[in-house]
Amino acid sequence: MNGKRILKEMTPYKQGKQMHEVKKEFGLERIVKLASNENPFGYSNQIDKYLSAQLPSFDMYPDGYTSELRTAVANKLDVNEDQLIFGSGTDEIVQMVGRAFLYPGVNTVMPAPTFPQYKHNARIEGAGIKEVPTVNGYHDLDGMLNAIDDKTNVVWLCSPNNPTGSLIPKDDFDAFMEKCPERVLVVLDEAYYEYVEKSLQSTISDRFSGYNNLLVLRTFSKAYGLAGLRIGYGIADKALIANLDVVRGPFNTSSMAQKAALIALDDDEFLLDTTSKNSNIKYKFQEFLDSIGWHYYDSQTNFLLVSTPKSGDEIFQHLLENGFIVRSGDGLSCPNTVRITIGNEDDMKQLQDIIYQLHLDISKER
Ligand SMILES: *Cc1c(COP(=O)(O)O)cnc(C)c1O
């Protein structure tokens, strides 16, 4: 068989350890997963109420145009309905961008480290990849502009960036868009938008002041707590959306995901509760890390990238044996770090106790 040659050099996405595997392996009663930036407070209870009363009919194909949710999102963001595209998670929209805009002979520019799916999809499409190292976790936007050449089709910006957590300041973003050639598609991934401090958040209308080459990505997986349902969306000029729509599968988001997202979008109270708890708990965790002298990166998200006195893998393993699954930075091109999702208050207290003990043990060894 003759698939794309690059497939021989690549591996499928390796997911974090599943909770039941870890329980069994270490004989633990309870496991806390702080590895994938999911919402520790669940999701809007309006969704359960609705679904238990009236499930969508599973024998029918979903509405491929996602009409109801499309209208609701368009109203909420004050954009036109033809400026939106929905995907089975924003992961799928990343894939659509690759399929539509990347091919052998062109290249794509991205920060490093960042969300691995940009590179993964670009490699499959055979495009060249130009990675520009972040500086203290922040995008080097001038470096990225310098990396753009006449073969560049797509530039990826991730704000706040995963795994570092840093936000691209509004003025820096505007300056970047001013200087970026208009023929280059700029994808701005805002998966953690809802977690950004209100005073630093940019609205969609701020973003789109005159740019036809910008695609903004948002998701229901993170602050809305619907990672298991797989739904996210992109916002862009209608001509760009029309191009992406050609490569979109006809029924790419499920009826259930559409319905739940529609309800979630309306529950501002849940979102506010999630984001305010997150910022309080994150602040306390940062104070704790300060107290033991562990460095962390600026974060406008629900996770922290923490520098560790031993390799990320060793810290990961130790926490795992104590019932906490985090993400080792060693595999995310951030050696000697772990990425920790901010959990609920009790779990984070327990995690702090474990880290504190670990800190004492490591200090004694030295
Ligand atoms: C989690 C995440 C996504 C993917 O979200 P889905 O909508 O669940 O596919 C995209 N980008 C970044 C930066 C993320 O962290």
Please give the distance, rounded to the nearest whole angstrom, from the Cα atom of residue 89 to the centre of ligand 1. Answer: 7
Q: Do 228 and 187 contact (CB within 8 A), yes or no?
A: no
Looking up tokens 């238990």 gives: 52
**CA of 212 relative to ligand 1 center, distance in Å:** 23
Determine the topology of domain 45-266 in CATH.
Answer: Aspartate Aminotransferase; domain 2 (3.40.640)
Q: What amino acid is encoded at 321 in this protein?
A: E
63-84 pLDDT, tens digit per residue, is 999 999 999 999 999 999 999 9
Q: How would residue 331 be classed by pLDDT, with cut points 50, 70 and 90?
A: confident
Rg over alpha carbons for the chain, rounded to the nearest Å, is 21
Residue whose tokens read 């963001």? 77
Q: Is 327 helix (H, G, I), strand (E, B) or coil?
A: strand
pLDDT at 265 over 80: yes
Domain boundaries defined on the chain:
5-43+269-365, 45-266
Percentage of the chain modeled with pLDDT above 90 = 87
For the domain covering 5-43+269-365, report its CATH number.
3.90.1150.10
- Angstrom distance (rounded) from CA 209 to CA 338: 37
CB 340: neighbour CB atoms within 10 A?
A: 27
The ligand 1 atom at the shortest distance from the C-alpha of residue 221 is: 8
As a whole number, mean pLDDT of residues 207-212 equals 84
Tell me the C-alpha distance between 255 and 55, whole Å.
9
* pLDDT number for residue 332: 86
Distance, CA of 37 to CA of 239 (rounded, Å): 33
Q: Which residues line ligand 1 (CB under 6 A)?
A: 37, 89-91, 115, 158, 162, 189, 191, 219, 221-222, 227, 232
pTM of the predicted structure, to 2 decimals: 0.96
Could you give the 3-state DSSP secondary structure of residue 187?
strand
Instruction: Give nearest CA residue, ligand 1 atom 11.
Output: 191
Closest approach atom of ligand 1 to CA 115: 13
Mean pLDDT on 127-148: 98
pLDDT, tens digit, 9 for 90 and up, residues 276-319: 999 999 999 999 999 999 999 999 999 999 999 999 999 999 99
